[in-house]
Amino acid sequence: MAKCGWRWLVTVGKAKGVLFEDSGDGYEYTKGGYLLTTYVAELESSVVTVRVSKSEGAWERPRRRLHVQLLLGNGAVVDAWGTDGEVLQIVMPSEEEMSNLVSESKKKYKTRMENVKHIPNLEKVSGDKGVELSKTPVELKNGEWALKVVPWIGGRIISMEHLPSGTQWLHSRVDVNGYEEYSGIEYRSAGCTEEYTVIDWDLEQAGEAESLRLEGDIGGGLAFERQIYIREDNPKVFQIESSIVARKVGAGSGGFSRLVCLRVHPTFTLLHPTESFISFFSVDGSKHEICPDSSEQLYEGDCRPNAVSTSRSILLWSKMPPGYECWAL
């Protein structure tokens, strides 16, 4: 699907975008095994023409449907369909029709916001095993940290507040971002949105950790286990221990045939992104610093951050939303 802003077309008269495709599981792209397409949308009178202006790579373009959306603003769109690689012309609605589309979209958005389900306030209930907590945000508060977890959508952490400074470290909504974990190399793969069960919730006791233990079924006989805890004897640090475990074998289990890995995906918010950087030592002892203009950085083998027990780490700066993301695969 291709999207283009109507205001930009009216102002500039032309818009351009690129799409890169490859197999995603090797280095065939280094030998030309990919398809890089440049699409152009041009406005003339009241007709928008969408076409392919340039193609690179050895892959042949598959015959497939092309879906184009012209964004009018406030959620209103004009949809058009064609065939990828062929010229698509879209006759725009009149000014009055576009105004009506925008107005209707505003009304629908307002209705959705009025009917949205808000997060309930946390209630202090017993943390004994088996208690139904899956629809209630769970708060862990101890030492220098206060965390909020939503078990029913991926067991994600949606709030990570440093109490002494009042700093909120996570950029998050209930259903996306924050601290997420996946079971595959694909973005938002199994484990990201599944409902987790609260197995155990231990509230703070003298000298002991306040902890939360979750478990989520990710299919194929596999389950995600996650424990989050804050120790009284080390109040500056909280820990997250996660694992993918086999729960059943045999008919109907899925045979564990799919490739799984533990992928950690936290999305952080930085108060001063341009003045911040990441510094770490690799397994081989070399020092690395990642600055806002460094884009995506991939570290494998001995270049991985020291003490990271994974095969690969990806560090990148994200512009939308502003902040820093760290992926470990």
Q: What's the CATH code of the domain at 172?
A: 2.70.98.10
Cα–Cα distance measured from residue 283 to residue 309, given in angstroms and rounded to the nearest whole number: 10
Confidence of residue 219 (pLDDT cuts 50, 70, 90): confident
Q: What is the dihedral of CA 32, 184, 138, 278, to 10 degrees?
A: -50
Domain boundary among 269, 289, 306: 269
In the predicted structure, residue 127 carries a pLDDT above the cut 60: no
Cα–Cα distance measured from residue 198 to residue 194, given in angstroms and rounded to the nearest whole number: 13
Look up residue 227 and give its two tokens: 């424990």
Query: What's the mean pLDDT in 196-205?
Result: 76
Cα–Cα distance measured from residue 267 to residue 321, given in angstroms and rounded to the nearest whole number: 9
- State the pLDDT at residue 126: 39
Q: What is the pTM of this model?
A: 0.53
Look up residue 247 and give its two tokens: 């729960």
Residue 59 per-residue DSSP state: P
Residues 109 and 152 in one domain: no
Residues 172 and 101 in one domain: no
Confidence of residue 209 (pLDDT cuts 50, 70, 90): low
Q: Distances from the Cα of 157 to the Cαs of 89, 100, 154, 270, 290, in angstroms?
A: 45, 40, 9, 17, 25
| Other beta carbons within 10 Å of 287 | 8
Write out the H or E segment, with its range, that includes residue 106: helix 95-115
More confident: 271 or 96: 96
- State the pLDDT at residue 132: 45
Query: What's the mean pLDDT in 202-227?
Result: 78
Look up residue 125 and give its two tokens: 């209930």
In the predicted structure, residue 20 carries a pLDDT above the cut 60: yes
Residues 107 and 159 in one domain: no
Averaged pLDDT score across all residues of the chain: 76
- State the pLDDT at residue 10: 55
Cα–Cα distance measured from residue 289 to residue 281, given in angstroms and rounded to the nearest whole number: 9
Identify whether the C-beta of residue 176 lies closer than 8 Å to the C-beta of residue 183: no
The count of domains in the chain is 2
Residues 176 and 94 in one domain: no
Identify whether the C-beta of residue 235 lies closer than 8 Å to the C-beta of residue 164: no
- State the pLDDT at residue 2: 52
- State the pLDDT at residue 45: 84
Confidence of residue 26 (pLDDT cuts 50, 70, 90): low
Q: Is there a domain that residue 126 lies in?
A: no
Residues 265 and 148 in one domain: yes
Share of the chain above pLDDT 90, in %: 7
- State the pLDDT at residue 69: 80
CATH number at residue 20: 2.60.40
Cα–Cα distance measured from residue 223 to residue 33, given in angstroms and rounded to the nearest whole number: 36
Question: 143-199, pLDDT tens digit by residue?
Answer: 888 999 999 888 889 999 989 988 888 888 777 788 888 887 777 888 888 889 888
Residues 154 and 265 in one domain: yes
Q: Note down the domain range covering 109.
A: 2-115
Residues 92 and 147 in one domain: no
Identify whether the C-beta of residue 151 lies closer than 8 Å to the C-beta of residue 133: yes
Q: Is there a domain that residue 123 lies in?
A: no
In the predicted structure, residue 253 carries a pLDDT above the cut 50: no
Residues 143 and 265 in one domain: yes
